[in-house]
Amino acid sequence: MIKITHLTKTYQVNNQPLLALDNISMLIEDKSITGIIGMSGAGKSTLLRVLSGLVSPDSGGVLIDGMAIMDMDAKELRSLRKRIGVVFQGYQLLMQKNVFKNIAFPLEIAGYDKEYIHNRVHQLVDLVGLSGKELQYPAKLSGGQMQRVAIARAMATNPSILLCDEPTSALDSVTTKEIMKLLVEINQKENVTIIIVTHEVGIVRSICHHVIVLDEGKIEEEGLVSNVFTNPKAQITKLLLGKEY
């Protein structure tokens, strides 16, 4: 379980404080798929950065399976990171390494032996449907394929949590559906808790159980997708649902 309590993060922009996260608290159940939705600048990526320990908040805490990430030293944080997979906005693949090497990367730095890496990468390539593409370089792949590599890489160390930042924002609608299907499959097969950050209502509606609506760093509304989307209360939720609502 992920427990977030009273998280606050301020950035200094042109010497002005900017409240990117404003007293955020939430609980995320194991093996659930949660959508965090909000407009550009709502603080979605910042929240994911705090969850993955990349950015430390001004105040508040994050407990992952009962462990507080704020209290961890650099070494503990590195080992925690092997239990959290992150799919970053814009894939962030290593352009000079092939598909196999990209997926193997987290395993290599974790110090697994060659044989284990070989077997695990082949499992992952199968899982994301990229068999036969192991020796291709990212520049030769389509957006959907690159996203599959990024997902496989994030899953390499068998994490219990998968964080996805705008996993489909650069993809067409057919590819988006395929990637969504893959995430659901991973959620069920690999028993992983998934948090998806997005500004697309359709994604949340199609695969998320829970939704958290973020605006200007604050949680405006949260709950089961079925409840929130059929009966939105906050103005921003209605705005995001737009015509659909």
Partner 1 sequence: MNPYINLLLEGTLETILMVTLSLVISAVLGVPVGVILTLTKSGGIAENKRIYKGLGWVVNMMRSIPFIILMMLLIPFTRWIVGTSIGTIGTIVPLSISAAPFVARIVETALLEINPQLIESIVAMGATPFQIIKKVYFVEAIPSLLRNIPIIAIALLGYSAMAGAAGGGGLGDIAIRYGYYNYNTQIMIITIIILIALVEIIQTTFNILAKKLDKRL
Ligand X SMILES: Nc1ncnc2c1ncn2[C@@H]1O[C@H](COP(=O)(O)OP(=O)(O)OP(=O)(O)O)[C@@H](O)[C@H]1O
Tell me: does residue 199 bind ligand X (CB under 6 A). yes
- In angstroms, what is the minimal distance from the CB of 197 to Mg ion? 7
Return the one option of partner 1, ligand X, Mg ion, none that residue 148 interacts with (CB less than 5 to 8 A, by type). none
- In angstroms, what is the minimal distance from the CB of 165 to partner 1? 10
- In angstroms, what is the minimal distance from the CB of 165 to Mg ion? 6
Tell me: does residue 102 bind ligand X (CB under 6 A). no
Tell me: does residue 18 bind ligand X (CB under 6 A). yes
Of the two residues 18 and 77, which places its CB atom closer to ligand X in the complex? Answer: 18
- In angstroms, what is the minimal distance from the CB of 222 to partner 1? 25
Do 84 and 105 form a contact (C-beta atoms < 8 A)? no
Q: Using CB under 6 A, which of the segments 41-49, 117-125, 138-146, 185-193 binds ligand X? A: 41-49
Q: In 3D, which of 140, 13, 167, 204 has the Cα closest to residue 213? A: 204
Of the two residues 30 and 76, which places its CB atom closer to partner 1 in the complex? Answer: 76
| Residue 62 tokens, joined | 């994050």
| Residue 210 tokens, joined | 């829970």
The Cα 60–Cα 67 span in angstroms is 14
Tell me: does residue 38 bind ligand X (CB under 6 A). yes
DSSP string, 116-184: HHHHHHHHHHHHTT-TT-TT--GGGS-HHHHHHHHHHHHHTT--SEEEEESTTTTS-HHHHHHHHHHHH
Of the two residues 4 and 51, which places its CB atom closer to partner 1 in the complex? Answer: 51
Residues paired with residue 197 on neighbouring β-strands, in sequence order: 36, 165
Count of CB atoms situated within 10 Å of the CB of 16? 8
The Cα 56–Cα 64 span in angstroms is 15
What end-to-end distance do the CA atoms of the chain give, in Å? 32
Of the two residues 18 and 234, which places its CB atom closer to partner 1 in the complex? Answer: 18
Of the two residues 42 and 62, which places its CB atom closer to ligand X in the complex? Answer: 42
Q: Using CB under 6 A, which of the segments 11-19, 70-78, 93-101, 104-112 binds ligand X? A: 11-19
What residues line the site for ligand X (CB under 6 A)? 11, 13, 18, 20, 38, 40-46, 199
